[in-house]
Chains A and B, each alone.
Chain A
Amino acid sequence: MKTKMIGIFAALMIALMLVGVSYAMWEKTITITGTVYTGVVDVEFCGVTVSSDETKVVSSWDAVVTDPEHITVTIDNAYPCIWYKIDADINNVGTIPVRIQSITVTGLPTYAEYTLSGAVKGDQIDTTAMVTAGVHGAVDFLPFDINIHLKNDPMTPMDDSFTFTVSINCVQYNEYKP
């Protein structure tokens, strides 16, 4: 009887062992490794020129892309009733299309006025890769111009200077808020 019990226990252990081995054999792990390379939102100025509607050479100017994100313009010997035109290009050098979210002008005195054409809120600038790939309608640069005019205003001071700033905020195209 005692031998019989030992035999049953041993058989049970062997059966359990066999079952355990069979579970280990019938599992499989599949691994997915994901790598995400994020794109880049990057725009820069790629050129600037200044001109005017003067009929004589009276004023002079200097325009420099001081760094890719900043243009510095100096107009010297300016006077009323002349339009000074700053032409510049924005180039999308990133990998994500962008849209202009806002254009702000600060520091312009009341005796001066400006117009801006070629770039408005919502304009999209695609990437060079999209243009190279021949995506229909894709453009990777946006030319625009800022026109400055000193009014015929008694408050317009002679022999003086003022500085104003135009900031163009570009956001990834799908984050644009109308």
Chain B
Amino acid sequence: MTVATDIAATGFESTDKVRASLARRHAAEKRFRLIGLVAILLGLGFVAILFASILAKGLPAFWQSNIRLTINLDPAIIKISPPPQQQEGQSNAAHQAELLAWRGELASLNWGRLIENALIAELPSDAAQRRRDVSRLVTSGERFKLRDLVAANPNLIGSTVDVDLLADANVDVWVKGNIDRTLPDAQLPLNPVQRNYVAVLQEKGLLVQRFASGLFVNVDSRSSLASAGLAGAFIGSLYMMLIVIVLAVPVGVAAAVYLEEFATKNRLTDLIEININNLAAVPSIVFGLLGAAVFINWLRLPLSAPLVGGLVLTLMTLPTIIIATRATLRAIPPSIRQAAIGLGASRVQTITHHLLPLAIPGILTGAIIGVAQALGETAPLLLIGMSAFVASVPVTPLDQSTALPVQIYLWQGNELRNFFEARTSAAIIVLLALMVMLNGLAIFLRRRFEKRW
């Protein structure tokens, strides 16, 4: 009995002690749970802040200031002969030279003056003496809009046309209030006279906000900042993504099929698997170095070409596709393989007739996700020469080009921060929208076609 009482005594003592500890411990539990919740909210908060700030900065950039003008295509200013045709026996090179000369003649015509005249017609009388200030109201690239208009239709010479011309970047910044208006005059991009002109144009309703389609269809520009656009970047990225799809998907699927269906457990397959896992974790910039050393230096492929970028991105995306395809193949139950082989199908037939069709949704999903990741890569592209300014759309994958993320990188470095911060944010919105669409497509495909074994 003594033992029993002994235990009983200790028992009650401990219960008391346990009771004493309860309040503290439950408080600790609540705190711990709260910390976890705060951590998640912090993570969600970061996502929200990131998107909010990008949207806030970038959405306004989709509308740009345009000046509506009535331009008199004064034949006194537009003095030009008809375009030259290729003569018999003339070499290609000579004809090209003639064409270039004619174009040069066309370009050297004072289109700017036509724009200035149209502006002066709307502005106060002192504008006629202040042509320089007036000329800076419209972005310089718009001259070529007029030139191209006339080149396409020389009959227009002598008539008047109504056009919406992109205002200069500084005007846009001023109108949108992207600059501190209380700064001293020396630090403001527009002088007081120009600001006055802008006010006049606004009053007259000639300064309008139009959708900035130029952002999508124009190429990059250093001289005419307001017309800088993403066209070159789009095509460059498109070429690269096509190369990635054409190269990485077949090779990746082939490798995954081999590793899953054929390979026996030997040193070679172990080595291949280790390599794939390592490559998946190698920093992207190392692939850029590979591209620079092998593709540019050794194979002498052209610098900054989408072909080279595509090859580098293919190597980066390969591990992703291989791993995704392997997972898909592994998910297919062995019973399907056994059924096929039981009927006498060879391994290749089993794969092509039975497994691959079932695996296609998973492969597609993996490929799309891989491509979406590759779309956003910047560092390796910088190393193969894409950090240079490219003002044209690449015609073939061997031409100099840029890519969407690289263009973003170049724009954010522009000195005209007030204008380019917004434009870069807009470009980021475009990039993110593309990635969201791709990922959304992948998720949709997965949901629609995924078989639950």
Q: Are A and B genuine complex partners? A: no
